[in-house]
Structure 1
């Protein structure tokens, strides 16, 4: 499976770096390919290093204005450079079988909400899982729950996204979401 991970490229607290490293090991151990923003700094680097060090494969999708921060890889790994952020998001989705959202800023939130909106409109059926490290997405989860409860979502929240607290819960959540998608509503 090709697993896309949206996350920050910033150097952050160890609790977030440790989660990125653990998730990278999980992805590689499962025989999966990491699809990510292609950056070689911060959490993106920690995640990619963990996948690579554990024998996994990398597919980075960078953008022209960030190309200087892109990771240099050797085949069979690959870096693709898109012309802008919109093309980058489209490529990340197109090249992935599932999406994981880790901690991040406005760019990560933009990627996540667009992917969820596309899923809401049945423009893709890929699982979307938030890795809610240290409660980072508790507020967003609460907002989504309110949107669901008050009828703002035409699709039940649990069919759009899943939230997990630890890296080792991500792959089982993806599997569960795929199984749920195969059953009628």
Structure 2
């Protein structure tokens, strides 16, 4: 089974996003996948981790020391790695993952998505990069990216590298196939 890195919100969000994160965590755990996350136990990040464990899956949290208190480190993780910097956190998350799924999130989530997606496009890895566009959350960004393509700033190959799906089942299916 795969180690799947999930990017998502670590701050306050409406309940339906917490439910989405828990649904993804349950599906990953039931499929026998290992979760690689940012190592926090709050918000969507905490919901996905708790659900993976409740479904019998394994969790690896990777968190920089300066966020241990702010994101309330997930001390229930099967493995909790504390790094010195955010860059080291992201490097380890990418190295430990076989695939990536991005849930709704803010600027940190977007930064992680774009870095991972760009790395795959540039040939730094060949791991699936899945964007779970639940309820059209990412539609404004996807429209903007299509507009950038029309103006020559984003290639068809780059857009094709991002696997956009609308359901948890489709996202888990893509990482299970890899």
> Are 2:95 and 1:94 equivalent residues in the alignment?
yes
> Matched residue of 1:156: which SS?
helix
CA distance in 2, matches of 1:90, 1:34: 16
Go from structure 1 to structure 2 and tell me whether the alpha carbon gap of 1:57 and 1:175 turns closer, same or farther (over 3 Å shift). closer
Match of 2:161? 160
Gaps of 5+ in 2: none
- Structure 2 residue matching 1:4: 3-state secondary structure: strand
For residues 108-157 of structure 1, give each alpha carbon's deviation from its aligned partner in whole angstroms, at most 9, with x where no partner exists.
11111111111121011111111112211111111222333443335614
* 1:21 maps onto 2:3 in alignment: no
Q: In the alignment, is the contact (CA less than 8 A) between 1:145 and 1:157 conserved in 2?
A: no
Say if 1:145 and 1:154 are closer, same or farther in 2 by CA, change over 3 A.
closer
Q: CA RMSD in A?
A: 1.6
In structure 1, runs of 5+ residues without a counterpart are 179-185
Query: What is the SS of the residue equivalent to 2:49?
Result: helix
Tell me, what secondary structure is at the counterpart of 1:16? helix
| TM-score, structure 2 normalization | 0.91
Matches within 5 A, 1:25-40: 25-40=26-41
3-state SS, counterpart of residue 123 of structure 2: coil
- Which segment is superposed worse, 137-146 or 28-37? 137-146
Q: 1:72 aligns with which of 72, 75, 88?
A: 75
Matched, 1:49 2:56: no
